[in-house]
């Protein structure tokens, strides 16, 4: 099976879902066993080696978003998230996008930015000039820290300098641009920054303090675009409403924060499943939303000449397929196999498309029936389970709560007592 558009995937049993995913990704029996293990794929011994003061493990639901067609290729997208309706929304968005050919996504090369803070500089113009004159020596020293990147023709490529005025005085910031290939690149960037610091001190006569990467990865931009057929969306009136809803988010910070949170529901869930640094991704995206000096919508929505809805999402996205948790956590490794990606750029494209799909479904729901109609049905299931309902009792309790328009834990307990 190579088609990710699976009819009524949500109605199938766990076994049937796993069989479909296994067939799509060619998972082994051992990999299926890991997915079916209720410890989340990680033992305490492994957890104890990953973090300090470990006392256990904490599992979150792992689901599959279906129907993704990205740059002409089908994907099943693993997503790790505790919030109801997110995976269903991403799947619905992907399904509607397929009508007009799916998502078109492009990604920059994997450039990481390292920063070296230089204090006590007496002559900034001279210091910057000397750094520029020593560019080759600095880059050579930086690249000596990674034989792997150097052999691949990657590594440190450029140097930039800027002056900052601060309350305690001026400081010089040297920025190192590094092609990190298929890695997220934090460790090699930090290593290079620390390695060149003594040379920077010698060149400038100043004192280096911080030597670390920037998670504001503006040289790793990813842009996803999709056309959503106006009839599949619900007609031109709905398209117009969605554009108006976007304009609200793009011009009001209170709406923009919630709007962008919805985008990040998709992005972070996919990033979590793939073992990526979700905190770095979130921080960079929010900084990018404020790049104009005002916090705005990360996505853009418009209507084309045929009345179809056009969505675009551009974000800085630093991800990797070598090193990090993606190569350590058993379930993350399986999720990467399900994705079937071959490069960090491809992973970035999939994650960004997931964010756009999620945003479409959220903004479409808000512009029509309201967000609660679908969300609260899923929330009601959680409440029924929290009340102690068995699998066979949950659907009956959910239906009664919806009919009575009373969705709460107390109501779920009351209905369970009646059953």
CA distance 174 to 214: 12
Q: Given a cut of 90, is residue 414 above it in pLDDT? A: no
Averaged pLDDT for residues 76-98: 96
Q: Give the pLDDT of residue 104.
A: 98
Q: Give the pLDDT of residue 418.
A: 86
- pLDDT one-digit tens code per residue, 230-243: 999 999 999 999 99
CA 391, chain centre distance (Å): 32
Q: Give the pLDDT of residue 71.
A: 98
Residue where the block lists tokens 């997915």? 35
Does the domain formed by 373-418 have CATH 1.20.140.10? no
Q: Given a cut of 90, is residue 130 above it in pLDDT? A: yes
Q: Given a cut of 90, is residue 328 above it in pLDDT? A: no
Q: Given a cut of 90, is residue 374 above it in pLDDT? A: no
Averaged pLDDT for residues 266-275: 98
* Lowest mean per-residue pLDDT among 138-152, 168-182, 296-310, 399-413: 399-413
Q: What is the 3-state secondary structure (H, E, C) of 56-88?
A: CCCCCCEEEEEEEEECCEEEEEEEECCCCCHHH
SS3 content of the chain, % helix, strand, coil (to 5): 50, 20, 30
CA distance 248 to 263: 15
Q: In which band, very low, low, confident or very high, does the pLDDT at 390 lie, cut at 50, 70 and 90?
A: confident
Fold identical between 9-108+222-370 and 111-214? no
Helices (H), 205-303: 230-233, 236-251, 253-273, 278-289
Q: In which band, very low, low, confident or very high, does the pLDDT at 375 lie, cut at 50, 70 and 90?
A: low
CATH of domain 111-214: 3.30.70.420
Q: Given a cut of 70, is residue 373 above it in pLDDT? A: no
Q: Give the pLDDT of residue 41.
A: 80
Which has the closest alpha carbon to 317: 365, 343, 278, 361? 278
Does the domain formed by 9-108+222-370 have CATH 3.90.770.10? yes
- pLDDT one-digit tens code per residue, 161-214: 999 999 999 999 999 999 999 999 999 999 999 999 999 999 999 999 999 999
* Lowest mean per-residue pLDDT among 24-28, 93-97, 297-301, 377-381: 377-381
Averaged pLDDT for residues 20-36: 94
Q: Give the pLDDT of residue 400.
A: 87
Phi-psi region at 164: left, alpha or beta (left = phi > 0; alpha = psi -120 to 50)? beta
Which has the closest alpha carbon to 397: 410, 72, 254? 410
Return the exposure string of 19-29: e unless at least 16 CB atoms fall within 10 Å of the residue's CB, then b: ebbbebbebee
Residue where the block lists tokens 């209170």? 254
The alpha carbon dihedral of 239, 241, 242, 243 has a sign of: positive
Q: In which band, very low, low, confident or very high, does the pLDDT at 399 lie, cut at 50, 70 and 90?
A: confident
| Residue 201: CB atoms within 10 Å | 16
The tokens of 276 are what? 């990526």
Would you name the residues annotated as active-site residues?
83, 261, 277, 375
pTM for the predicted model, two decimal places: 0.90
Q: Give the pLDDT of residue 377.
A: 67
Each domain of the chain, given as residue ranges in start order, spans 9-108+222-370, 111-214, 373-418
Share the mean pLDDT of the chain: 94
**Residues written for the chain:** 419
Q: Give the pLDDT of residue 247.
A: 98
Do the Cβ atoms of 323 and 88 come closer than 8 Å?
A: no
Q: In which band, very low, low, confident or very high, does the pLDDT at 54 lie, cut at 50, 70 and 90?
A: very high
Find the farthest-apart pair of alpha carbons in the chain and give their distance in angstroms, rounded. 82
Sheet holding 111-119, edge to edge: 155-166, 169-179, 111-119, 207-214
Averaged pLDDT for residues 90-117: 97
CA distance 221 to 195: 27
Do the Cβ atoms of 183 and 98 come closer than 8 Å?
A: no
Q: Give the pLDDT of residue 80.
A: 97
What percent of the chain clears pLDDT 70, i.e. is strictly above it?
98
Q: In which band, very low, low, confident or very high, does the pLDDT at 2 lie, cut at 50, 70 and 90?
A: confident
* Lowest mean per-residue pLDDT among 91-100, 181-190, 240-249, 405-414: 405-414
């Amino acid at each position: 099976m190579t088609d990710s558009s699976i009819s009524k995937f949500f109605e199938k049993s766990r076994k049937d879902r796993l069989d479909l995913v296994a067939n799509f990704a060619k998972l082994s029996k051992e990999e299926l066993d890991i997915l079916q293990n209720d410890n989340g794929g990680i033992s305490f011994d492994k957890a104890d080696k990953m973090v300090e003061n470990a006392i256990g493990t904490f599992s979150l639901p792992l689901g599959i978003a279906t129907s993704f067609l990205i740059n002409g290729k089908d994907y099943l997208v693993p997503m790790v998230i505790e919030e109801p309706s997110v995976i269903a929304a991403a799947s619905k968005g992907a399904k509607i996008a397929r009508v007009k050919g799916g998502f078109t996504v492009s990604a920059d090369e994997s450039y990481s930015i390292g920063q070296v803070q230089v204090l006590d500089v007496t002559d900034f113009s001279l210091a910057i000039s000397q750094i520029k004159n020593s560019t080759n020596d600095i880059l050579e020293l930086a690249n000596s820290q990674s034989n792997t990147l150097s052999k691949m023709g990657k590594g440190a490529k450029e140097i930039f300098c800027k002056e900052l005025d601060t309350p305690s005085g001026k400081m010089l910031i040297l920025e190192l641009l590094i092609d990190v290939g298929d890695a997220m690149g934090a460790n090699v960037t930090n290593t290079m920054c620390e390695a060149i610091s003594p040379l920077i001190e010698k060149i400038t006569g100043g004192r280096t303090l911080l030597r670390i990467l920037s998670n504001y990865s503006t040289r790793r931009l990813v842009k996803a675009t999709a056309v959503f057929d106006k009839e599949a969306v619900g007609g031109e009136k709905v398209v117009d409403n969605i554009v108006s809803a976007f304009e609200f988010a793009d011009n009001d910070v209170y709406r923009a924060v919630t709007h962008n949170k919805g985008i990040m529901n998709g992005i972070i869930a996919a990033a979590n499943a793939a073992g990526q640094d979700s905190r770095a991704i979130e921080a960079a995206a929010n900084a990018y939303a404020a790049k104009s000096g005002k916090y705005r919508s990360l996505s853009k929505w418009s209507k084309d000449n045929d009345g179809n809805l056009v969505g675009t999402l551009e974000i800085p996205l630093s991800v990797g397929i070598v090193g990090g948790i993606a190569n350590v956590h058993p379930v993350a490794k399986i999720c990467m196999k399900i994705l079937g990606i071959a490069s960090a750029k491809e992973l970035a494209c999939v994650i960004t498309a997931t964010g756009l799909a999620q945003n479409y479904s959220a903004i479409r729901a808000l512009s029509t029936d309201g967000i609660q109609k679908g969300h609260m049905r899923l929330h009601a299931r959680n409440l029924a389970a929290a009340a102690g309902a068995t699998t066979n009792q949950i659907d009956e309790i959910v239906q009664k709560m919806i009919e009575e328009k009373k969705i709460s834990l107390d109501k779920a307990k009351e209905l369970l007592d009646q059953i």
